[in-house]
Structure 1
């Protein structure tokens, strides 16, 4: 208990402080300290750990009682600490402090816990140890672990530390390898607990304190202790020196004496003999994992107050009947994991208060006739025991719990007797049979475990007729043969698995034979045999079952048909909707096609524009016009219209022919077409294309030819005389003919037809 207080005391304290109710982020005011740190509701506890701070942030008030600024980047002890005169606990570990000013704790009269561990202190002088702790008149716990002091020597006639109130000093992992000179504890007049764990310390020397109660030097390098070293610690109660692998308590150190020592832990050392005679008031001794080879006579004769003795994990090979003489108050003795082959029968009588004895992992071959009036728990598991005598337990008149698991037992003797035994553990042995008399002489038996044995035949209820207090029966992991036709199997299954006296879970009972039920539980393998009415139902039940199945099947078919009809109806609606949409799309396409045809009809070019003028030879062979006519594009008034365009010349041959036919000669300048009066429109230029005579027949049936026919009829009705002049054209460039646009609304256009 004291060890836990020392090792985990500071951690428990800080976890208790941290478990206080904190302010939520939404409740914090961004202008105060609690925006950066975690604060309690009354702001008496402030946690600013791991914030990367180099100093105490502003905003702290004098009401703060617990301040945690650990694991930051503080390299100089904050001078503003002295304004927190109500501070009870200060955690400044894990920073970069190298020295402590003399006035660092000024005004901190209520400070009780100071944690300076995991900093960079290298010498005691950097702490100002004679001055810095004097203002803290209530300081009780000082943690300086994980620094680099390296020694605990005198400081030029100065005390190592001076504090009238300090009770707990923790110096773990400080690389301390020696204690010399004046006692480092002389300035600590109320020191109670000193922890020096995990230091390369080789000797405990010059430790003088009338008040020191607990000393921890675990995981050090101690090799021996001076015989009078503990006499300078008259109040020492708890001494722990485990994991000092070179520490020996040889016979030459039997004078090691401490009248006040009550708890001693020297486990994981190199102890060859216990040699505890110098501790008359010792109550608990832990010497496990050592090198003890034998225990001589009267080994613990001077330890009359010893109550707990742990000698496990040693090499003890032999005991004597008077080895434990004088241990009249011993209650717990652990001798497990040794090499004991024989346990003297009368050796336990020297310990009249012994209640718990552990002999597991030894070389015992049989349960001897041990005698004890007080032992209640006996553990002799994992030995090599192959036989138990009928009267082996009669000498243990108070035995309650016996553990014989993991041995070589092949049978349990009949009528093994004990009027007090309640729990018998026989797991993982080689037992294969029991009978009516096996547990007959164990009337108080309440729990029996035989897991992992070799039972094949199902037990009978009658085996436990005399065990009226039996509450627990563990039968798992055995090779049971399930004979379901045997009424005894069902009777025993009912006895151990059914309420109200349930003793075992049914899923732990597994069949190992015959082959058709391997791996099944007893209930699975024998269910229909034990319940034939469920396997062969009566006629009425069968008829009702058939009726119910028919009705259920009919309802299912009706439901399926209804769903199918609904789905078909829905598919028809979807198909009709699709057809309607397709028809609408077709109508839209038809209208678009008609509109496109109309637009194409209106925009079709004049076929005359597509026919090239005849060549010179073709023009000579064409018939001569006897009358002149206006151009088909110039309809309406009948007046002549001046022909616009490029002036063109005629050949001399054409002029001579024309002169001979008409009797007069007209020059090119006089050849103009008469335009109708009142019409101001431009003539469209002809397209620059040439066609042969063989294409004229095809163009006569074109839509353009029909339009020209209509136009010609219209012109014949409205034009008195149309004169057409044919001019000879030698060559003209190819160019696109544009239609003339008339500004007169009374004139007819080709597009009107």
Structure 2
């Protein structure tokens, strides 16, 4: 039991370590690449990678490794069993192994464009796609295959699931041999755009529905080139500048074709008889000069026909015969000057007709029972017949802008017309009967014309559905005294039936009102009570402005004065603080100087007095000097006779002779118990004008005392007598203190 627990613990630890490693690898992948929140989408594009990073989770469905530096097809993709989209475009891959897509059973999109494949053999086309059983789209564009043909005894590509193959910009010059699509049993879309391809023969596929061969070098399409594509529905052949469709019986045939685009070619004549089921045909930007009779007789299912930007100069009455369900016809940007009157009746389902940029000169010579939207702008039309719209039985929107119309005939009638665009013509006047017969008119545009007289709202009494009226950019003459102008302004601009913005109504005359809107020019005329009220209000406004300005000036002056006073007080306070600081600094400097003088040592303490022998060797004084006390106090002492310094014996004899012998009490015997040395110290006594004192702390006395101790034995008795030396006294700096009355040591 213990062993089983031990094994279970080891297994749990191992799994935890593996999971930690996996988590760290996944974190590293998401650090290098961009991951979605659920880590199903990983974007490693433009990371300069040489291989796919390790640690990608198995649940990844979209992996983008495009625009890197990968040389070899990655080998670590086999574990990504949930991968749906793989983008390896923009790399340097030139070879794919046979098992490159092994285990990628969920893969639907593979993008290998912009790589270095130069031959089909390097792609292993017979084996590489068979393991990807759900692959739908394969993009091989911007490689260098150069040809589209079968390999030796092999199919070009083999895949039972591939539906879209993209081979744009692959330098393919020819398609020959057995069909390169025979191995793709489920192919739907083939794109070979931007290749120097001159023929598309040899394509055989029972499932192909869309073929894109634009921007190539096709010159012609033979009859049988499309017959081997029985399911072809969409064919795009645009931008093949040398393409010519044969007019004879050898014209291409495709019974299944529904959409044909041969625009931007050099087709001069049309022959679509080989496409009986065609629904939409784009033939614009060619050089078609004319249309023959029964040109579309075999295209009875055609619904959209674009013939714009050609050189068509004329039509025949039966040109459009057979187009029974055609709904859109674009003949704009041609050179049509005349359209047969009944030519549009051949298209009973036509609803949208564009005749823009042709050379039609009048409206009213066409008939149609189905056209609802008619564009005849930029056609140099200068005349509209009174009954020109009666033959358009379903007309709803008519665009006659940018023409040369100078007037609109009265009572022009249409029971269906809703939107009439007459912008940028030369119309200068309308009347009460102009729009009388347009009962369903909803929008009218007359921008950029030459109207001067203000209209009357009675012009639209019979247009109850009118919702939009564009009147801008005209030369209106504003007469504010005319009541009709005010009524029409309210009719056009006021809610709830607002039809035009007021700022689009600009006066062009008289001179004093040029550039002003109708409301600005005529406001006081239309509202005279507001004018008086406005005059009084203007006066009060001026008074209030003057009073307010005066109050503002007073307030500004008061603020300025208070600020000046405050600045002056601040300046005075600053100067006072500076003076106080200077005074404190001066006192601190004086105190520092006094303390420095008090702490300066006495020069006599620094210089040792001379010894006894040195004193004997000094020169004799010519005159006697006073004692230190007398010198310091300035008192003049008595003159004493000059006497020589003698030894102690001579001094005793002299004192006995003079009767001044000191008594025993004048001397004091002191014994030192430590050194058994006795010393006789004499107390200071005054002898005449002299005061002999012993300076025990003097360095000279100490040195002399030490020399005498060395000369006299331990039991000897020494009598020290100091005589006044006859030398001039030096002036000394007295140590001063705050209290000058106290005697100091330097005074003696």
TM-score by length of 2: 0.77
- For the 8 Å contact 1:375–1:399, the answer to whether it is kept is yes
Where does the alignment leave 5 or more consecutive residues of structure 2 unmatched?
1-22, 599-620, 641-689, 701-722, 737-741
Deviation at 1:91, TM superposition (A): 1.2
* 1:311-710 mapped onto 2 (5 Å cutoff): 311-537=307-533, 542=536, 568=561, 571-572=564-565, 574-590=567-583, 592-593=585-586, 628-630=624-626, 635=631, 677-678=693-694
Does residue 198 (structure 1) correspond to residue 191 (structure 2)? The answer is no
Does residue 43 (structure 1) correspond to residue 39 (structure 2)? The answer is yes
* 1:242-261 mapped onto 2 (5 Å cutoff): 242-252=238-248, 254-261=250-257
Deviation at 1:635, TM superposition (A): 4.2
Aligned to 2:152, what secondary structure does the other structure show? Answer: coil
- For the 8 Å contact 1:238–1:262, the answer to whether it is kept is yes
CA distance in 2, matches of 1:28, 1:289: 60
Q: Give the aligned partner of residue 159 of structure 2.
A: 163
- For the 8 Å contact 1:341–1:364, the answer to whether it is kept is yes
* 1:218-297 mapped onto 2 (5 Å cutoff): 218-252=214-248, 254-297=250-293
Deviation at 1:42, TM superposition (A): 3.0
Deviation at 1:427, TM superposition (A): 0.6
CA distance in 2, matches of 1:740, 1:551: 85
Root-mean-square deviation (Å): 3.5
CA distance in 2, matches of 1:598, 1:86: 95
Deviation at 1:505, TM superposition (A): 0.6
CA distance in 1, matches of 2:562, 2:153: 110
Deviation at 1:521, TM superposition (A): 1.0
Summarize the Cα distance change of 1:564–1:55 in structure 2 as closer, same or farther, 3 Å threshold: same
Aligned to 1:463, what secondary structure does the other structure show? Answer: helix
CA distance in 1, matches of 2:345, 2:583: 121
Deviation at 1:578, TM superposition (A): 3.5
* 1:85-234 mapped onto 2 (5 Å cutoff): 85-234=81-230
Summarize the Cα distance change of 1:547–1:171 in structure 2 as closer, same or farther, 3 Å threshold: closer
Q: Give the aligned partner of residue 714 of structure 1.
A: none
CA distance in 2, matches of 1:537, 1:567: 40
Where does the alignment leave 5 or more consecutive residues of structure 1 unmatched?
1-26, 605-624, 642-673, 684-720, 728-735
- For the 8 Å contact 1:636–1:747, the answer to whether it is kept is no
Deviation at 1:102, TM superposition (A): 0.8
- For the 8 Å contact 2:386–2:410, the answer to whether it is kept is yes
Instruction: Indicate the larger mover: 400-409 or 577-586.
Output: 577-586
- For the 8 Å contact 2:330–2:354, the answer to whether it is kept is yes
The one of 305, 308, 314 equivalent to 2:304 is 308
CA distance in 1, matches of 2:90, 2:222: 37
Deviation at 1:527, TM superposition (A): 1.2
Q: Give the aligned partner of residue 681 of structure 2.
A: none
CA distance in 2, matches of 1:449, 1:31: 65
CA distance in 1, matches of 2:166, 2:491: 61
Deviation at 1:737, TM superposition (A): 10
CA distance in 1, matches of 2:540, 2:265: 83
CA distance in 2, matches of 1:186, 1:640: 156
CA distance in 2, matches of 1:211, 1:627: 151
CA distance in 2, matches of 1:537, 1:70: 76
Deviation at 1:582, TM superposition (A): 2.4
Summarize the Cα distance change of 1:676–1:536 in structure 2 as closer, same or farther, 3 Å threshold: same
CA distance in 2, matches of 1:474, 1:28: 69
- For the 8 Å contact 1:636–1:676, the answer to whether it is kept is no
Instruction: Indicate the larger mover: 243-252 or 453-462.
Output: 243-252
Aligned to 2:533, what secondary structure does the other structure show? Answer: coil
For each residue in 1:226-269, what CA deviation from the matched residue of structure 2 results, as whole angstroms up to 9, or x when unmatched? 12111111111110000001101132365321111111000000
Q: Give the aligned partner of residue 3 of structure 2.
A: none
Aligned to 2:374, what secondary structure does the other structure show? Answer: strand
Task: Count the aligned residue pairs.
Answer: 624
CA distance in 1, matches of 2:694, 2:169: 125
Summarize the Cα distance change of 1:58–1:740 in structure 2 as closer, same or farther, 3 Å threshold: same
Aligned to 1:90, what secondary structure does the other structure show? Answer: strand
For each residue in 1:674-697, what CA deviation from the matched residue of structure 2 results, as whole angstroms up to 9, or x when unmatched? 9964358799xxxxxxxxxxxxxx
Q: Give the aligned partner of residue 699 of structure 1.
A: none
CA distance in 2, matches of 1:28, 1:347: 77
For each residue in 1:343-371, what CA deviation from the matched residue of structure 2 results, as whole angstroms up to 9, or x when unmatched? 11100010000001100100111113211
Deviation at 1:421, TM superposition (A): 0.3
Aligned to 2:578, what secondary structure does the other structure show? Answer: helix
Aligned to 1:142, what secondary structure does the other structure show? Answer: strand
CA distance in 2, matches of 1:155, 1:591: 110
CA distance in 2, matches of 1:738, 1:635: 10
Aligned to 2:226, what secondary structure does the other structure show? Answer: helix
- For the 8 Å contact 2:597–2:735, the answer to whether it is kept is no
Summarize the Cα distance change of 1:639–1:114 in structure 2 as closer, same or farther, 3 Å threshold: farther
TM-score by length of 1: 0.76
Aligned to 1:328, what secondary structure does the other structure show? Answer: coil
